[in-house]
Structure 1
Amino acid sequence: MNFKIKATLAGAAAALAFASAPATAETRDYISIVGSSTVYPFATTVAERFGRGSKNPTPKIESTGSGGGMKLFCAGVGTQHPDITNASRRMKKSEFVQCQENGVKDITEVVIGYDGIVFANSAKGKHMDVTLRDLFLALAKEVPDPKGGEKLVANPYKTWKEVNPALPNTKIEVLGPPPTSGTRDAFNELAIEGGCKTFPWLKAIKSEDKSKYKAICRSIREDGAYVEAGENDNLIVQKLEKNPEAFGVFGFSFLDQNRGKVQGANVGGVAPTFDSIAAGDYPVSRSLYFYVKKAHVGVVPGIKGYVKEFSSEKAWGPEGYLAEKGMIPLGDDLRKDMMAQARSLKSMTGEEDLH
């Protein structure tokens, strides 16, 4: 659904808001960045390159999760608030409204690349080939009654074999991100809802009652089978090494950087690879973003330079240093458009397809 809001009172209001911020806001000489744990390693790499190659201090980056980053970013104007937030999903309608209400009027949205969400386990464990339906049945809060009929019951499944006889007879134990994470949002939408929609009677609920549909198709079970492991994807990788029967949910780049330690399950018969994600064949793929607070540009030094570095071919191009880190580059045309959008600091209009 298109979300149509006209963002107004941009330049003068932003300057006034900045001028009225506390005096301490004038003292910060480094870029402050918050947000997604998935985007964090890419942003950190850009920040380090930018710090070495310019006269500006290296930007300070905090991994707060996409939702936590949006909350901090939208809290207001002034350098007690961050300049940029990273996200592993698009800004939500409610977040855009929150930004507007708090005086954060002019925001630039930049799509930086793609990422796959992997369902992985220890390289010492059994390699899995799961479907979206398997993931839904294993992890949803409520599932269709195994006895049959169009009825939902609290998730009764304890082992993977109960979900699908072709899967191992091992306990369902999945370590994943918390609700504040963009990875969690995307996993719920792409994997859990993706599996939910394979039941025609559940899919039909969407046209009748969207809220009810989302509550069914995007809710994760809370009985211990899914364990919230915080915003630290590296910690999930470490825990998987110690428990070969557990699975983890995290971004492709962490799989790519830890090959030999963990392995990604095939989803719908497709392995999570650089090529399968770039081609759109891997079913659990999403776009990655950062958002710039334009009111801080020219006040906090170096923001334009950082954005220029991030949007350079040497960074996000097919042969760039971010691809080496596991980020999947945009196609040539979209990358060219995003470079122009980033460097011109084009403002969001509120007419984007926000949900």
Structure 2
Amino acid sequence: MIKKILTATVFAGAVVAAAGAAQARDQIRIVGSSTVFPFSTAVAEQFGKDTDFKTPVVESTGSGGGMKLFCAGVGVEHPDITNASRRIKSSEFEKCSKNGVTITEVKVGFDGIVLANAKSGERFNLTKKQIFQALAKQVPVDGKLVDNPYKKWSDIDSSLPDLKIEVLGPPPTSGTRDAFVELALEGGAKKFDSLAALRKEDKKAFKAVAHAVREDGAYVEAGENDNLIVQKLEANPAALGIFGFSFLDQNSDKVQGSIVDGAEPTFENIADGEYGVSRSLFFYVKKEHVGSVPGIQEFVNAFTDEDAWGDVGYLTDKGLIPLPSGDRDSVGSAARNLSELKL
């Protein structure tokens, strides 16, 4: 009888040990922005080669989708790091805090958001005001706010191509979509006197107009897969697509970026602020997982090394616009010390 009890106890212990082993994770899991994905993947691959740690798994879920997964809780079933092509929202930060997640924020560089079309088509030369007129749900016409009436680019301005407005872009969960709406559409909305006045009177009402994208087929949600957008643009030279500069840079043999407010989307123009549709890129680290999942601290160190994110680091070959050297010093120091983000 004693032998049976001992055997059962040993067996139960083995089951618990096996379950614990199954729950443990020896590989960093990263989710988030499709724009930061190629940079994060490049660092992950280099990290796997240069260290004894396993190569981190990087998934492209979109900034919003990544934040949702990241902030859901602590434990190996949740990701360790999330990439974002915009800063964390206060609502997301509150969700993280509520679920016991403390965060280190790492700003890694800049990216431009481009409106691009196939090289076989006519290159577009647009203003932010025209972009707003093309894509907003409602626009001012003769002093009144009406449902967007523009079907062709030439309806907005006779100097623009006589082509149907068709723009392929990311869904609402995408940081690229968030940034495009804020930088391009809101920037264009401010050019109308009536909307500029509304902004002074009621910012919430202004944003409701400035951020609402038309839903009549002119804007086509094409998912988070930028490769698919490029394929569709090649098939339809009259269409435009929205994605990050780094992706334009990698596909410059197939697509061309539109000029916006007189500036081309180039590395130099984005770096010096000349190109007005650009944003900061980030990743966020779950401090509770450091020391639990091996290699997180070392991965952060690798990403913020000059060989990676510096002026001549390998990430510039992927299209990353580096932070100024002084900012890299301060951001890198805070990242390597895993300083806690407080909003």
TM-score by length of 2: 0.93
Q: 1:115 aligns with which of 111, 116, 126?
A: 111
CA distance in 1, matches of 2:335, 2:106: 6
CA distance in 2, matches of 1:24, 1:240: 47
1:132 aligns with 2:128: yes
Q: Deviations over 1:213-267 (max 9, x none)?
A: 1110011100000000001111111111111000000000010000120000000
**Counterpart in 2 of 1:322?**
315
**Counterpart in 1 of 2:75?**
78
Q: Deviations over 1:153-176 (max 9, x none)?
A: 000100000011110000000000
Between stretches 341-350 and 281-290, larger displacement belongs to 341-350
| Residue 25 of structure 1: how far off its partner (Å) | 7.6
Q: Deviations over 1:11-68 (max 9, x none)?
A: xxxxxxxxxxx94784110000000000000000000000011111100011000000
Q: Map 1:114-193 onto structure 2 (within 5 A).
A: 114-145=110-141, 148-149=142-143, 151-193=144-186
CA distance in 2, matches of 1:328, 1:276: 10
Larger radius of gyration: 2
AA aligned to 1:241 is E
1:95 aligns with 2:92: yes
Judged with a 3 Å threshold, the aligned counterparts in structure 2 of structure 1 residues 23 and 332 are, in CA distance, closer, same or farther, namely same
Q: Deviations over 1:93-113 (max 9, x none)?
A: 100011111111x20001000
1:255 aligns with 2:248: yes
Question: Structure 1, unaligned stretches of length 5 or more?
Answer: 1-21, 351-355
CA distance in 1, matches of 2:46, 2:270: 26
| Residue 209 of structure 1: how far off its partner (Å) | 2.0
Question: Structure 2, unaligned stretches of length 5 or more?
Answer: 1-18
CA distance in 2, matches of 1:218, 1:313: 37
Q: Deviations over 1:143-193 (max 9, x none)?
A: 012xx12x1100010000001111000000000000000000000000000
AA aligned to 2:307 is K
AA aligned to 2:130 is D
AA aligned to 2:35 is T
Counterpart of 1:138 in 2: which secondary structure? Answer: helix
1:59 aligns with 2:56: yes
**Counterpart in 1 of 2:8?**
none
AA aligned to 1:111 is K
1:343 aligns with 2:340: no
CA distance in 1, matches of 2:27, 2:198: 49
Q: Deviations over 1:309-331 (max 9, x none)?
A: 10000000010000011000000
Counterpart of 2:97 in 1: which secondary structure? Answer: helix
CA contact (8 A) 1:110 1:289 kept: yes
Judged with a 3 Å threshold, the aligned counterparts in structure 2 of structure 1 residues 211 and 24 are, in CA distance, closer, same or farther, namely farther
CA distance in 1, matches of 2:199, 2:74: 38
1:287 aligns with 2:272: no
Counterpart of 1:204 in 2: which secondary structure? Answer: helix
**Counterpart in 1 of 2:213?**
220
Counterpart of 2:74 in 1: which secondary structure? Answer: coil
CA distance in 1, matches of 2:226, 2:49: 27
Q: Deviations over 1:116-135 (max 9, x none)?
A: 00000000000111000010
Judged with a 3 Å threshold, the aligned counterparts in structure 2 of structure 1 residues 25 and 73 are, in CA distance, closer, same or farther, namely farther
Q: 1:246 aligns with which of 239, 259, 275?
A: 239
Judged with a 3 Å threshold, the aligned counterparts in structure 2 of structure 1 residues 200 and 40 are, in CA distance, closer, same or farther, namely same
